[in-house]
Amino acid sequence: MDALQANGKKLVVVKLTAGTWGDYRQALSRKSNAHVLKVAPYSVDSPEVLRVLDRLRGFTQVVKGEGLAVAWAIWVEYSARRVAAMLALSHEGARLMKAINARAVLGFEANSWPGAALNEAGGNVGATRIILNHNSQPPSDSSLANAVLSTLFEHRTYNSLVDVAGIWSREGLEWQKTLRSGEVVTKCHAVKVGYPAPPRKVASVRPFRILHAGNYQNWSEFFPWIAETSEEFLTGMEHLANAARTVEDIELVFRIRPKQEVDADTLRSRVTVSANVRIEDTEQDFLEQLSECDLMIAHFSTTVEQALQLGKPVLLWGNTQRYRQFEARDALPDLHSRAAVYSAKNAAQLPAMLAAIRDCHAGLPLTESELARYRHFSGTPDLTTWTLEVLKPHFGRS
């Protein structure tokens, strides 16, 4: 958004609220190049919404068994609200885009209900629909994982609602090429991740900084093959904090993304903060924190691959045996034999592993050869450059 505004382009953020067309006229009369335009959801009792709900209800009657019918009874009220919102975004959004001569629709995924509706609206008025993919989909030896990740990639990025997609995951991009055949649905391009401007100066002499940015998934979420309970997650962090306190010249920072069972206060009740162990919430930008650390500890592929593309070594650690997206070294490194991804066999190995990684990586960035399999080829444009290039054909149009 900053890059587009710097190039004098007008940005419009579409939000669902009780808006009227008068709101559009008022916003567009201003001289600012960024506006928020309001779209009012349809009534859940409107004929348009009822027709869609009737079709959805019909699907539950086609499939044998009571499970789907029971689920529909539970979710019908929620679905009615979402359908009302999506129809408003699709129909009224198309009218709005036509009125303001919108040339492109930008988003991060096409499978969310607002994203799908806005992309449909954009397609109806001939706007270029661009997805800046923010997920990582590396292949694995798990057929379940591959099937789910492939489906998610298609729903989020590679489908008829998306014209162009920027993919920052090299492994994901290469793998997806093998899954697609026949007519090209979405044009996919490689983009690289870049650091934000550092928010503050980092001391030139400081301990080896370790950022823990892990999380947990339960069985109700997208990725059941990496299921870990909140208790297992907390226990894993306890082991990590205990190990860090025994290793000199390191600093461990826990970044906690709050969930229902675990937030920063929950962790503080389990982990004792000390001189070299601290707990933070997610107020600071993740990439900023990542730029300030020397080692990242996590397990989710998106977080891991972000760190690797930005040149940070990664330690995979969790309390349970979890799905591994990347081949990891569990032997201690030395100055003549390092890796980009490590894994501790158990809690007892953590102190030695942390100390060895500190000794082999402090002040010694990962080399191009160590990072080669995780990064796009040299010359790959960054996100800003790529987005402006994709939009260039529209800039000269009135």
CA angle, 394 then 155 then 123, to 5°: 30
Q: Residue 26 in contact with residue 35, Cβ under 8 Å?
A: no
Identify the residue with better confidence: 129 or 304. 129
pLDDT tens for residues 144-191?
Answer: 778 888 888 888 899 999 999 999 888 778 777 776 667 788 999 999
Identify the residue with better confidence: 36 or 128. 128
Q: Residue 34 in contact with residue 13, Cβ under 8 Å?
A: yes
> Can you tell me the mean pLDDT for 72-77?
89
Distance CA 340, CA 209 (A): 16
Comparing C-alpha atoms, which of 151, 166, 147, 139 is closest to residue 301?
Answer: 139
Distance CA 120, CA 124 (A): 6
Q: Residue 131 in contact with residue 108, Cβ under 8 Å?
A: yes
The tokens describing 258, both together, are 């709050």
| pLDDT value for 396 | 57
| pLDDT value for 24 | 46
> Can you tell me the mean pLDDT for 15-41?
58
Q: How far is CA 20 from CA 30, 87, 171, in A?
A: 17, 16, 45
In single-letter form, the type of residue at position 15 comes to K
- pLDDT beyond 60 at 378: yes
Q: Residue 292 in contact with residue 209, Cβ under 8 Å?
A: yes
Residues comprising the chain, all counted: 398
Comparing C-alpha atoms, which of 139, 147, 144, 156 is closest to residue 305?
Answer: 139
| pLDDT value for 393 | 81
Q: How confident is the model at residue 358 (pLDDT cuts 50, 70, 90)?
A: very high
pTM higher than the cut 0.85: no
Q: How confident is the model at residue 275 (pLDDT cuts 50, 70, 90)?
A: very high
Spatial CB neighbours of 238, under 8 Å, sequence gap ≥ 6:
270, 271
| pLDDT value for 72 | 87
Enter the DSSP assignment of 66. Answer: S
pLDDT tens for residues 236-257?
Answer: 999 999 999 999 999 999 998 8
Look at 5-14, 190-199, 344-353 and tell me which has the smallest mean pLDDT: 5-14
Distance CA 328, CA 307 (A): 14
Helix (H) or strand (E) holding 176: helix 170-179
Distance CA 136, CA 145 (A): 12
The tokens describing 52, both together, are 């869609």
Comparing C-alpha atoms, which of 222, 230, 295 is closest to residue 257?
Answer: 230
Q: How confident is the model at residue 103 (pLDDT cuts 50, 70, 90)?
A: confident
Domains and CATH numbers, the chain: 7-100 (no CATH), 101-192+377-398 (no CATH), 208-374 (3.40.50.2000)
Distance CA 319, CA 232 (A): 6
Identify the residue with better confidence: 37 or 332. 332
